[in-house]
């Protein structure tokens, strides 16, 4: 018997950073994001003995554990170990767990959190533990942020759990996910006009997030203004999508990037600045890095007449250019009979 799960990755349009403590508790966070057709996958195959094996295709790494023994957190596949520790307390047989993702860790697409959601998906099925979407997202957040101490917010776990276009409100530990009913033709036009450009480097988001939080805690005016502007822009961009104002949405994406840059001087770098400025010169209305910053993917909104020029310019500068579609479903799990 095989159990599989797939959890979608996400792109964040505005509000990133306002979901990171202590901002939600003090001022309330707002995030606008959407999931795309890139996924984190997990496959669990049951065994007749007490061995647990984990293989990550992304890291090219494998480890072996034993049922009933507490894993050692040593930096090797700790996400998987923490999820296994949480869900396998009462199981008596082992399993093989295989993991892979469509995007590398550090890509800015929420891949690590989507992987945690996929892990919980297969393990809850294996352990026969019912979990709601809210519970799954919150459990993924708790394991990552509290038990493993990985810096970050809540939007990635909720995006992977719920899927689709979401306007997420955060008040301390209270989260409200508002699914947005974006018209089908608007979704198609967004897909037509948006590009993902891989900058060529991944990044360690912890350092950028920690710097952002420290600046906010110190009361630095630029960091505070950038975070508050992110909240305002999340509302404006949501309204632009619902009101079918896509040109305004593209321009607001540029405003969101300028606000994001104010939150920490580590968010951009000369490589990102070169790509972004060149994209704008070639006809992009706006864009932003898709995660904490420092590398990963640039999301660019182009006027339909200039999309090919923007793509060509990005390729000339050595960036990988990719199109994508939006994913309207969140985490999905299923069972397969046999050894497929």
Task: Please provide the DSSP assignment of 214-267 as one string.
Answer: HHHHTT-HHHHHHHHHHHHHHHHHHHHHHTT-HHHHHHHHHHHHHHHHTT-TTS
Q: Is 206 a known active-site residue? A: no
Instruction: Give exposure, 16-26, as e/b (b: 16+ Cβ within 10 Å).
Output: bbbbbbebbee
Q: Which neighbouring-strand residues pair with 323?
A: none
Give the pair of three-digit tokens for residue 144. Answer: 């990552």
User: 3-class SS at 330?
Assistant: coil
Active-site residue, selected from the candidate residues 19, 78, 156, 211: 156
Backbone phi, psi, residue 58, to 5° = -65, -40
Instruction: Give exposure, 79-95, as e/b (b: 16+ Cβ within 10 Å).
Output: bbbbbbbbbbeebeebb
Task: Please provide the DSSP assignment of 54-89 as one string.
Answer: EEETTTTEEEEEETTSPPP-SSSSHHHHHHHHHH-S
Q: How far apart, in whole angstroms, are the C-alpha atoms of residue 152 and residue 101?
A: 20
Residues identified as active-site: 156
């Amino acid at each position: 018997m095989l159990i599989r799960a797939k959890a979608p990755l996400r792109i964040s349009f505005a509000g990133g950073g306002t979901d990171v403590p202590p901002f939600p508790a003090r001022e309330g966070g707002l995030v606008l994001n959407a999931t795309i057709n890139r996924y984190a996958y997990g496959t669990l195959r049951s065994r007749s003995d007490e061995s647990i094996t984990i293989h990550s295709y992304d890291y090219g790494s494998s480890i072996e554990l034993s049922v009933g023994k507490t894993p050692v957190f040593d930096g090797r596949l700790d996400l998987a170990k923490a999820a296994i520790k949480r869900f396998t307390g009462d199981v008596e047989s082992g399993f093989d767990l295989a993991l892979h993702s469509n995007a590398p860790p550090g890509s800015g697409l929420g891949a690590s959190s989507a992987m945690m959601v996929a892990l919980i998906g297969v393990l809850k099925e294996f352990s026969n533990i019912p979990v709601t979407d809210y519970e799954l997202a919150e459990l993924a957040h708790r394991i990552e942020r509290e038990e493993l101490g990985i810096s970050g917010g809540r939007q990635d776990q909720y995006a992977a759990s719920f899927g689709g276009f979401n306007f997420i409100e955060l008040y301390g530990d209270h989260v409200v996910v508002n699914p947005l009913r974006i018209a089908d033709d608007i979704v198609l036009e967004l897909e037509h006009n948006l590009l993902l450009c891989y900058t060529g480097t991944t990044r360690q988001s912890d350092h950028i997030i920690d710097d952002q939080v420290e600046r906010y805690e110190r009361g630095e005016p630029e960091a505070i203004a950038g975070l508050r502007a992110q909240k305002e822009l999340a509302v404006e961009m949501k309204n632009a999508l619902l009101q079918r104002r896509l040109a305004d949405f593209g321009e607001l994406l540029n405003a969101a990037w300028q606000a994001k840059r104010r939150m920490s001087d580590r968010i951009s770098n000369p490589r990102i600045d070169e790509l972004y400025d060149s994209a704008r010169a070639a006809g992009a209305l706006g864009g932003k890095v898709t995660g904490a910053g420092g590398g990963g993917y640039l999301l660019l909104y182009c006027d339909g007449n200039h999309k090919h020029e923007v793509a060509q310019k990005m390729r000339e500068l050595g960036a990988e250019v990719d199109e994508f579609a939006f994913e309207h479903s969140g985490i999905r799990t299923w069972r397969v009979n046999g050894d497929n």
